[in-house]
Amino acid sequence: MTTQGIETLSDLAWTEVANGSTNVTIATRSTESFFAVLSPTEPAVGLDRDGTFEGEAGKPVGYSDLTPTDRVWAISNKGALKVSVVKS
């Protein structure tokens, strides 16, 4: 089953966008970017961005073949940002 929703990200805290889904795609139409990471717990706000994937308009971030315990987190690069999250 595929579900699609809108999440509002902030640059002050990570938002859990997927938990228990097999495939996840996060996209935005904004000129601002976001970062996404696969982590079992909420990452620290100051997380080194080297371990993350950056998404922006025309460049979504996707994860596939996730296990039921995998959790995907996202944070805005600057201010509030709306993203589309598709899970299957």
Decide: pTM greater than 0.85. yes
Exposed/middle/buried for 56, CB within 10 Å: 0-12, 13-18, 19+?
Answer: middle
Cα 18 to Cα 6: distance, rounded to the nearest angstrom: 12
What is the structure's pLDDT at 49? Answer: 65
Residue whose C-alpha is closest to residue 39's, from 9, 22, 14: 14
Residue 62: Cβ within 10 Å count: 14
- Using an 8 Å Cβ cutoff, are 18 and 67 in contact? no
Residue-by-residue pLDDT tens, the chain, 88 positions: 889 999 999 999 999 999 988 999 999 999 999 999 999 999 888 766 667 889 999 999 999 999 989 999 999 999 999 999 999 9
